[in-house]
Structure 1
Amino acid sequence: MKNKAIWIVLAVVVVLGLLFVTKYNSLVNAEENVNNKWAQVDNQLKRRADLIPNLVETVKGYAKQELEAIKLVTDARAKLAGARTPGEAADANNELSGALSRLLVITENYPNLKSDQNFRQLSDELAGTENRLAVARKDYNDEVTVFNKDIRRFPGSLIAGILGFEKKEYFEVSEAEREVPKVDFGS
């Protein structure tokens, strides 16, 4: 009878150990997926930041009196480059998006600039990058959702708490970016 009780306790310990190891490995995989998706967002943010100086220089040649808008773009780009967390990157990205929107609106006043081959090419590359960035942000947020659910559900919550897995931050857009832009083909 005593041997049977020892075997039962040993079996329970082994099953719990396997559950613990399996869940731990699952959390590690989920966290690495989040990190990978963040690297893709970061990659697109970097590509975007690399395109901006060329766009700014092209606009500068045509719109010398618009230096304030150009400075806003340059400053926002620097903040984005210095961002350390998804939240900081999201805030810097929102600021950069606003500054870029303002700069692109200003270009409407310069027909020669809009027809400039270099400007058009840079605008197209920037638009493509914006699309890739949107996809990368969605993929990142999807992985964050999976990970955050994993560490909040039982038994993941126990294991995550013991091993220090923490909730990941979403890459969110600002209220200003949620507003629908107004398009006016008049005047």
Structure 2
Amino acid sequence: MFNKFKGLIITLSIVVALMLIIGLSIVIGFNNAVKKQTTIENNYAQISVALEMRFEKLELLLGALTGLEEHVETQLTKITDARAKLSQGADLNDISEEVEAGFRNIVVLIEDNPNSYIAVAAYNGYMAEISATINLIMTTKIIYNDAVTDFNRFLRQFPRNLYLPALGFSQEKLYDPNLVSN
């Protein structure tokens, strides 16, 4: 009889140990997925911050231009409208395209009227800041896409692919690769 209970105790111990291992694996997988998903959300917010910085730099550049008030006002309105759309939760891809188009118009405007800005040094300074901001935007998009790729790979790996979708996790979309160069 003692051997019968001994076998039952061993079997129950093995079952409990397996349940603990599986449960611990699920908890660790869930917590890692939450961490990675939060990183993605933060990286997406960083793209928004970088775009906001570019809005501010473009407004400063436009403010430095003189002699082209009508054209400047039009571009300033476009940038201000894009900023308002961003604060209202508009799609970052659309906003980025609008700002990029406005920026190209400003460059053409300045190239066509080289004597129209207040000081070459101020213009060059703003252009350097805008260039740095564009690089920051590109970098934040790359970092975002890296985080999304890491998260998606994490979700697809066995055994997490068996239980994380049931816990509400799904693959994230990469930032539009056509806009990474903006």
How would you bin the TM-score normalised by the shorter chain?
A: 0.7 to 0.9
How does the TM-score come out when normalised to structure 1? 0.80
Provide the aligned length of Structure 1 versus Structure 2.
Answer: 174
Percent identical residues = 25
Q: Which residue of 1 aligns with 2:44?
A: 38
Q: Which residue of 2 aligns with 1:107?
A: 110
> Which amino acid in the other structure matches residue 140 of structure 1?
Y
Q: Which runs of 5+ in 2 are unaligned?
A: 1-6
How does the TM-score come out when normalised to structure 2? 0.81
* Shift in Å, 1:135: 0.8
> Which amino acid in the other structure matches residue 93 of structure 1?
S
Contact 2:55-2:79 within 8 A present in 1 as well? no
> Distance in 1 between the 2:130 and 2:87 partners?
17
| Structure 1 residues 116 and 77: alpha-carbon distance in aligned structure 2, compared to 1, 3 A threshold | farther
Contact 1:45-1:133 within 8 A present in 2 as well? yes
Point out the structure with max Rg over C-alpha: 2
> Distance in 1 between the 2:79 and 2:123 partners?
16
Once structures 1 and 2 are overlaid, which stretch shifts more, 125-134 or 18-27?
18-27
> Distance in 2 between the 1:93 and 1:11 partners?
53
> Distance in 2 between the 1:178 and 1:139 partners?
13
Match of 1:164 among 161, 164, 168: 168
Q: Which residue of 2 aligns with 1:4?
A: 10
Q: Which residue of 1 aligns with 2:137?
A: 133
Matches within 5 A, 1:29-178: 29-59=35-65, 61-66=66-71, 67-83=73-89, 88-113=91-116, 115-174=119-178
The DSSP-based 3-state class of the residue aligned with 2:115 is helix
Contact 1:34-1:144 within 8 A present in 2 as well? yes
> Distance in 2 between the 1:54 and 1:12 partners?
63
Off by >6 Å, runs of 4+ in structure 1: none
